[in-house]
Amino acid sequence: MPDSTRDQLLRRLRDGQWLSGEQLAQELGLTRAAVAKQVAVLKQQGYLIEAAPRRGYRLQSLPDSLLPAEIRAGLVTARFGQGLISYLESTASTNQDARELAEQGAAEGSLVVAEQQTAGRGRRGRSWYSAPGVGVYLSLILRPALAASEVARLTITAAVAACEALRELSGLDVRIKWPNDLLVGQRKLGGILTEVSMDQESVSYAVVGLGLNVATGDFPPELAAIATSLRLASGRELRRAAVVRGVLERFERRYDELLNEGFAGILAEFKALSNVIGREVEVTIAGEGLRGLARDIDADGFLLLELGGGGVKRVLAGDIRPLD
Protein backbone atom coordinates (compact mmCIF):
# COMPACT_ATOMS: atom_id res chain seq x y z
CA MET A 1 0.00 0.00 0.00
CA PRO A 2 1.52 3.34 -1.01
CA ASP A 3 2.58 5.64 1.78
CA SER A 4 0.42 8.67 2.44
CA THR A 5 2.00 12.11 2.42
CA ARG A 6 1.84 12.10 6.22
CA ASP A 7 3.62 8.75 6.35
CA GLN A 8 6.34 10.09 4.07
CA LEU A 9 6.74 13.16 6.28
CA LEU A 10 6.97 11.04 9.39
CA ARG A 11 9.54 8.76 7.81
CA ARG A 12 11.73 11.78 7.02
CA LEU A 13 11.43 13.05 10.59
CA ARG A 14 12.26 9.72 12.26
CA ASP A 15 16.03 10.25 12.27
CA GLY A 16 15.57 13.08 14.79
CA GLN A 17 17.45 15.69 12.77
CA TRP A 18 16.30 19.23 12.05
CA LEU A 19 14.58 19.53 8.67
CA SER A 20 13.46 22.86 7.27
CA GLY A 21 9.90 23.41 6.16
CA GLU A 22 11.18 24.45 2.75
CA GLN A 23 13.20 21.25 2.34
CA LEU A 24 10.27 19.06 3.40
CA ALA A 25 7.91 20.95 1.08
CA GLN A 26 10.20 20.37 -1.89
CA GLU A 27 10.70 16.68 -1.13
CA LEU A 28 7.01 15.98 -0.58
CA GLY A 29 5.64 18.24 -3.31
CA LEU A 30 3.70 20.38 -0.83
CA THR A 31 3.54 23.99 0.19
CA ARG A 32 5.17 24.97 3.47
CA ALA A 33 1.70 25.68 4.85
CA ALA A 34 0.62 22.14 3.95
CA VAL A 35 3.70 20.73 5.70
CA ALA A 36 2.81 22.72 8.82
CA LYS A 37 -0.74 21.34 8.66
CA GLN A 38 0.52 17.74 8.46
CA VAL A 39 2.91 18.37 11.35
CA ALA A 40 -0.04 19.64 13.41
CA VAL A 41 -1.95 16.41 12.71
CA LEU A 42 1.06 14.32 13.81
CA LYS A 43 1.24 16.31 17.05
CA GLN A 44 -2.43 15.56 17.68
CA GLN A 45 -1.65 11.87 17.25
CA GLY A 46 0.94 12.07 20.03
CA TYR A 47 4.18 12.73 18.15
CA LEU A 48 6.33 15.28 19.98
CA ILE A 49 7.70 17.53 17.23
CA GLU A 50 9.75 20.61 17.96
CA ALA A 51 9.43 23.60 15.62
CA ALA A 52 11.85 26.53 15.51
CA PRO A 53 12.33 29.52 13.15
CA ARG A 54 15.09 29.04 10.57
CA ARG A 55 15.60 25.45 11.73
CA GLY A 56 12.34 23.77 10.83
CA TYR A 57 11.05 20.61 12.52
CA ARG A 58 12.58 17.88 14.64
CA LEU A 59 10.91 14.72 15.98
CA GLN A 60 11.68 14.33 19.68
CA SER A 61 9.61 11.32 20.73
CA LEU A 62 7.10 8.81 19.44
CA PRO A 63 3.73 7.95 20.96
CA ASP A 64 3.16 4.51 22.44
CA SER A 65 0.30 3.86 20.08
CA LEU A 66 -0.91 1.29 17.57
CA LEU A 67 -1.03 3.74 14.68
CA PRO A 68 -0.34 2.04 11.32
CA ALA A 69 2.81 4.12 10.80
CA GLU A 70 4.24 2.84 14.09
CA ILE A 71 3.40 -0.78 13.31
CA ARG A 72 4.92 -0.61 9.83
CA ALA A 73 8.12 1.15 10.94
CA GLY A 74 10.66 -1.67 10.79
CA LEU A 75 8.08 -4.42 10.15
CA VAL A 76 9.72 -7.32 8.30
CA THR A 77 6.89 -9.29 6.72
CA ALA A 78 5.74 -10.02 3.20
CA ARG A 79 1.97 -9.81 3.81
CA PHE A 80 0.97 -9.48 7.45
CA GLY A 81 0.43 -5.80 8.22
CA GLN A 82 1.70 -4.65 4.84
CA GLY A 83 -1.70 -3.94 3.30
CA LEU A 84 -4.78 -2.66 5.04
CA ILE A 85 -4.40 -1.70 8.70
CA SER A 86 -7.70 -0.49 10.12
CA TYR A 87 -6.84 1.62 13.18
CA LEU A 88 -9.56 2.39 15.70
CA GLU A 89 -9.32 4.38 18.90
CA SER A 90 -12.20 2.36 20.32
CA THR A 91 -14.34 -0.49 19.03
CA ALA A 92 -16.62 -3.15 20.42
CA SER A 93 -14.56 -6.05 19.04
CA THR A 94 -11.66 -6.13 16.57
CA ASN A 95 -12.67 -9.66 15.59
CA GLN A 96 -16.11 -8.47 14.56
CA ASP A 97 -14.60 -5.60 12.59
CA ALA A 98 -12.20 -7.98 10.86
CA ARG A 99 -15.00 -10.40 9.99
CA GLU A 100 -16.89 -7.56 8.30
CA LEU A 101 -13.78 -6.60 6.30
CA ALA A 102 -13.20 -10.23 5.32
CA GLU A 103 -16.79 -10.52 4.09
CA GLN A 104 -16.10 -7.45 1.93
CA GLY A 105 -13.09 -9.17 0.37
CA ALA A 106 -10.17 -7.83 2.43
CA ALA A 107 -6.92 -9.55 1.50
CA GLU A 108 -4.99 -12.00 3.64
CA GLY A 109 -2.74 -10.14 6.06
CA SER A 110 -5.20 -7.26 6.56
CA LEU A 111 -5.19 -6.12 10.16
CA VAL A 112 -7.55 -4.43 12.61
CA VAL A 113 -6.05 -2.79 15.69
CA ALA A 114 -7.70 -0.80 18.46
CA GLU A 115 -6.55 1.22 21.43
CA GLN A 116 -9.57 -0.04 23.38
CA GLN A 117 -12.28 -2.68 23.08
CA THR A 118 -15.61 -2.15 24.79
CA ALA A 119 -16.91 -5.67 24.18
CA GLY A 120 -13.77 -7.72 23.69
CA ARG A 121 -14.43 -11.46 23.58
CA GLY A 122 -12.62 -14.61 24.51
CA ARG A 123 -13.57 -18.21 23.92
CA ARG A 124 -17.16 -19.27 24.56
CA GLY A 125 -18.32 -15.65 24.42
CA ARG A 126 -16.54 -14.58 27.58
CA SER A 127 -15.61 -10.92 27.96
CA TRP A 128 -11.98 -9.79 27.71
CA TYR A 129 -10.71 -6.88 29.81
CA SER A 130 -9.41 -4.31 27.30
CA ALA A 131 -8.16 -1.21 29.11
CA PRO A 132 -7.50 1.80 26.84
CA GLY A 133 -3.98 2.59 25.66
CA VAL A 134 -2.14 -0.17 27.53
CA GLY A 135 -2.82 -3.38 25.62
CA VAL A 136 -2.62 -4.92 22.19
CA TYR A 137 -6.01 -5.69 20.69
CA LEU A 138 -5.71 -6.92 17.12
CA SER A 139 -7.34 -9.21 14.60
CA LEU A 140 -5.66 -10.61 11.49
CA ILE A 141 -7.49 -11.83 8.38
CA LEU A 142 -6.26 -15.10 6.88
CA ARG A 143 -7.39 -17.08 3.85
CA PRO A 144 -5.70 -20.46 4.38
CA ALA A 145 -6.11 -23.52 2.20
CA LEU A 146 -7.23 -25.69 5.10
CA ALA A 147 -9.99 -28.24 5.58
CA ALA A 148 -12.57 -27.92 8.32
CA SER A 149 -10.81 -30.64 10.31
CA GLU A 150 -7.60 -28.57 10.35
CA VAL A 151 -9.00 -25.32 11.80
CA ALA A 152 -7.64 -25.99 15.31
CA ARG A 153 -4.15 -25.83 13.83
CA LEU A 154 -4.55 -22.09 13.25
CA THR A 155 -5.04 -21.35 16.95
CA ILE A 156 -2.08 -23.54 17.87
CA THR A 157 0.10 -21.86 15.24
CA ALA A 158 -0.91 -18.41 16.47
CA ALA A 159 -0.26 -19.40 20.08
CA VAL A 160 3.23 -20.68 19.28
CA ALA A 161 4.09 -17.57 17.27
CA ALA A 162 2.84 -15.16 19.93
CA CYS A 163 4.56 -17.09 22.71
CA GLU A 164 7.88 -17.13 20.83
CA ALA A 165 7.67 -13.40 20.08
CA LEU A 166 6.85 -12.47 23.67
CA ARG A 167 9.61 -14.63 25.12
CA GLU A 168 12.12 -12.95 22.80
CA LEU A 169 10.87 -9.39 23.43
CA SER A 170 10.42 -9.60 27.19
CA GLY A 171 12.79 -12.33 28.40
CA LEU A 172 9.86 -13.85 30.32
CA ASP A 173 9.10 -17.56 30.52
CA VAL A 174 5.79 -17.22 28.65
CA ARG A 175 3.87 -20.48 28.37
CA ILE A 176 0.76 -21.71 26.59
CA LYS A 177 -2.25 -23.11 28.40
CA TRP A 178 -4.06 -25.29 25.89
CA PRO A 179 -5.62 -24.29 23.68
CA ASN A 180 -5.29 -20.51 23.50
CA ASP A 181 -4.10 -18.75 26.66
CA LEU A 182 -0.69 -17.14 27.20
CA LEU A 183 0.57 -17.29 30.77
CA VAL A 184 3.43 -16.10 32.94
CA GLY A 185 3.50 -18.40 35.93
CA GLN A 186 -0.18 -19.03 36.67
CA ARG A 187 -1.29 -15.55 35.60
CA LYS A 188 -2.93 -14.83 32.27
CA LEU A 189 -1.02 -12.50 29.97
CA GLY A 190 -3.13 -12.81 26.85
CA GLY A 191 -5.45 -14.93 24.80
CA ILE A 192 -6.24 -15.89 21.22
CA LEU A 193 -9.67 -16.15 19.61
CA THR A 194 -9.93 -17.77 16.17
CA GLU A 195 -13.15 -17.52 14.18
CA VAL A 196 -13.69 -19.03 10.74
CA SER A 197 -16.11 -18.86 7.86
CA MET A 198 -16.49 -22.11 5.99
CA ASP A 199 -17.14 -22.71 2.30
CA GLN A 200 -18.52 -26.24 2.32
CA GLU A 201 -15.63 -28.34 3.68
CA SER A 202 -12.84 -25.75 3.45
CA VAL A 203 -12.01 -22.45 5.11
CA SER A 204 -13.22 -19.36 3.26
CA TYR A 205 -11.46 -17.03 5.69
CA ALA A 206 -10.27 -16.99 9.28
CA VAL A 207 -9.90 -14.16 11.77
CA VAL A 208 -7.26 -14.64 14.45
CA GLY A 209 -7.65 -12.22 17.34
CA LEU A 210 -5.06 -11.48 20.00
CA GLY A 211 -5.66 -9.68 23.27
CA LEU A 212 -2.51 -8.96 25.21
CA ASN A 213 -1.79 -7.05 28.42
CA VAL A 214 1.32 -4.98 27.70
CA ALA A 215 1.52 -1.94 29.97
CA THR A 216 -1.45 -2.63 32.24
CA GLY A 217 -0.59 -1.56 35.78
CA ASP A 218 -3.85 -2.26 37.59
CA PHE A 219 -6.57 -4.82 37.03
CA PRO A 220 -10.13 -4.93 38.36
CA PRO A 221 -10.37 -6.72 41.73
CA GLU A 222 -11.79 -9.87 40.16
CA LEU A 223 -8.73 -10.17 37.87
CA ALA A 224 -5.94 -8.87 40.10
CA ALA A 225 -4.92 -12.32 41.37
CA ILE A 226 -5.11 -14.14 38.03
CA ALA A 227 -3.90 -11.65 35.38
CA THR A 228 -0.61 -9.95 34.61
CA SER A 229 1.02 -7.77 31.95
CA LEU A 230 4.41 -7.62 30.30
CA ARG A 231 5.16 -4.52 32.34
CA LEU A 232 4.20 -6.06 35.68
CA ALA A 233 5.91 -9.38 35.02
CA SER A 234 9.15 -8.06 33.51
CA GLY A 235 9.50 -4.60 35.04
CA ARG A 236 10.23 -3.32 31.54
CA GLU A 237 8.47 -0.77 29.36
CA LEU A 238 7.80 -2.31 25.95
CA ARG A 239 6.35 -0.29 23.11
CA ARG A 240 3.09 -1.80 21.98
CA ALA A 241 3.80 -1.33 18.28
CA ALA A 242 7.05 -3.26 18.72
CA VAL A 243 5.07 -6.09 20.31
CA VAL A 244 2.68 -6.12 17.34
CA ARG A 245 5.61 -6.22 14.90
CA GLY A 246 7.21 -9.11 16.75
CA VAL A 247 3.99 -11.11 16.79
CA LEU A 248 3.24 -10.45 13.10
CA GLU A 249 6.75 -11.43 12.03
CA ARG A 250 6.71 -14.69 14.00
CA PHE A 251 3.17 -15.51 13.00
CA GLU A 252 3.82 -15.04 9.27
CA ARG A 253 6.83 -17.38 9.44
CA ARG A 254 4.93 -20.03 11.39
CA TYR A 255 1.82 -19.66 9.20
CA ASP A 256 3.87 -20.18 6.04
CA GLU A 257 5.46 -23.20 7.70
CA LEU A 258 2.00 -24.61 8.41
CA LEU A 259 0.86 -24.22 4.81
CA ASN A 260 4.09 -25.24 3.07
CA GLU A 261 5.83 -27.69 5.39
CA GLY A 262 3.08 -29.07 7.58
CA PHE A 263 2.03 -28.99 11.21
CA ALA A 264 4.54 -31.33 12.86
CA GLY A 265 7.20 -28.77 13.78
CA ILE A 266 4.64 -26.28 15.09
CA LEU A 267 2.93 -28.96 17.17
CA ALA A 268 6.25 -30.06 18.67
CA GLU A 269 6.99 -26.47 19.71
CA PHE A 270 3.48 -26.09 21.13
CA LYS A 271 4.05 -29.13 23.32
CA ALA A 272 7.42 -27.76 24.46
CA LEU A 273 5.81 -24.45 25.44
CA SER A 274 2.72 -26.01 27.03
CA ASN A 275 2.15 -25.70 30.77
CA VAL A 276 -0.23 -28.68 30.99
CA ILE A 277 1.23 -31.64 29.06
CA GLY A 278 2.15 -34.39 31.50
CA ARG A 279 0.13 -32.91 34.37
CA GLU A 280 -3.02 -33.97 36.15
CA VAL A 281 -5.80 -31.62 35.06
CA GLU A 282 -9.51 -31.04 35.18
CA VAL A 283 -11.21 -30.15 31.90
CA THR A 284 -14.70 -28.66 32.01
CA ILE A 285 -16.78 -29.34 28.90
CA ALA A 286 -20.37 -28.06 28.73
CA GLY A 287 -20.52 -27.90 32.51
CA GLU A 288 -19.12 -31.40 33.04
CA GLY A 289 -15.73 -31.79 34.71
CA LEU A 290 -13.36 -34.52 33.57
CA ARG A 291 -10.19 -35.34 35.48
CA GLY A 292 -7.18 -37.11 34.11
CA LEU A 293 -3.66 -36.85 32.78
CA ALA A 294 -3.03 -34.39 29.94
CA ARG A 295 -1.15 -37.01 27.95
CA ASP A 296 -0.56 -35.29 24.61
CA ILE A 297 -1.85 -33.07 21.80
CA ASP A 298 -2.70 -35.00 18.65
CA ALA A 299 -2.06 -34.07 15.02
CA ASP A 300 -5.38 -32.20 14.79
CA GLY A 301 -4.75 -30.09 17.91
CA PHE A 302 -7.02 -32.12 20.20
CA LEU A 303 -6.00 -32.67 23.82
CA LEU A 304 -5.61 -36.36 24.67
CA LEU A 305 -6.94 -36.74 28.21
CA GLU A 306 -6.08 -40.05 29.87
CA LEU A 307 -8.97 -40.84 32.21
CA GLY A 308 -8.75 -42.67 35.50
CA GLY A 309 -10.31 -45.82 34.09
CA GLY A 310 -7.64 -46.10 31.43
CA GLY A 311 -9.56 -44.67 28.50
CA VAL A 312 -8.42 -41.66 26.46
CA LYS A 313 -10.75 -38.83 25.48
CA ARG A 314 -10.00 -36.44 22.60
CA VAL A 315 -10.96 -32.91 23.60
CA LEU A 316 -11.25 -30.11 21.04
CA ALA A 317 -11.99 -27.31 23.50
CA GLY A 318 -12.70 -26.82 27.16
CA ASP A 319 -11.64 -25.02 30.31
CA ILE A 320 -8.54 -26.69 31.69
CA ARG A 321 -7.17 -26.43 35.23
CA PRO A 322 -3.99 -28.11 36.49
CA LEU A 323 -4.56 -30.07 39.70
CA ASP A 324 -0.95 -30.36 40.89
The CATH fold assigned to 5-61 is Arc Repressor Mutant, subunit A (1.10.10)
> Which amino acid is residue 134, in one-letter code?
V
The pTM is what?
A: 0.90
Domain residue extents for the chain: 5-61, 68-273, 280-322
| DSSP strand pairing (135-142 vs 111-114) | antiparallel
Whole-number pLDDT of residue 1: 47
Residue pLDDT tens, the chain, 324 long: 456 899 999 999 999 999 999 999 999 999 999 999 999 999 999 999 999 999 999 999 999 999 999 999 999 999 999 999 999 999 999 999 999 999 999 999 999 999 999 876 554 455 557 788 999 999 999 999 999 889 899 999 999 999 999 999 999 999 999 989 999 999 999 999 999 999 888 999 999 999 999 999 888 888 989 999 999 999 999 999 999 999 999 999 999 999 999 999 999 999 999 999 999 999 988 888 889 999 999 988 889 999 987 799 999 888 898 888
Distance between CA atoms of residues 66 and 88, nearest Å: 9
Distance between CA atoms of residues 190 and 213, nearest Å: 6
The CATH fold assigned to 280-322 is SH3 type barrels. (2.30.30)
Q: Which tens digit of pLDDT belongs to each residue from 31-84?
A: 999 999 999 999 999 999 999 999 999 999 999 999 999 999 999 999 999 999
Contacts of residue 84, Cβ cutoff 8 Å, sequence gap at least 6? 1, 101, 106, 107, 110, 111
- CATH superfamily placement of domain 68-273: Bira Bifunctional Protein; Domain 2 (3.30.930.10)
Whole-number pLDDT of residue 121: 56
SS3 annotation, the chain = CCCCHHHHHHHHHCCCCCECHHHHHHHHCCCHHHHHHHHHHHHHCCCEEEEECCCEEEEEECCCCCCHHHHHCCCCCCCCCCCCEEEECCECCHHHHHHHHHHCCCCCCCEEEECCECCCECHHHCECCCCCCCEEEEEEEECCCCEHHHCHHHHHHHHHHHHHHHHHHHCCCEEEECCCEEEECCEEEEEEEEEEEEECCEEEEEEEEEEEECCCCCCCCCCCCCECCHHHHHCCCCCHHHHHHHHHHHHHHHHHHHHHCCCHHHHHHHHHHECCCCCEEEEEECCEEEEEEEEEECCCCCEEEEECCCCEEEECCCEEEECC
Distance between CA atoms of residues 255 and 158, nearest Å: 8
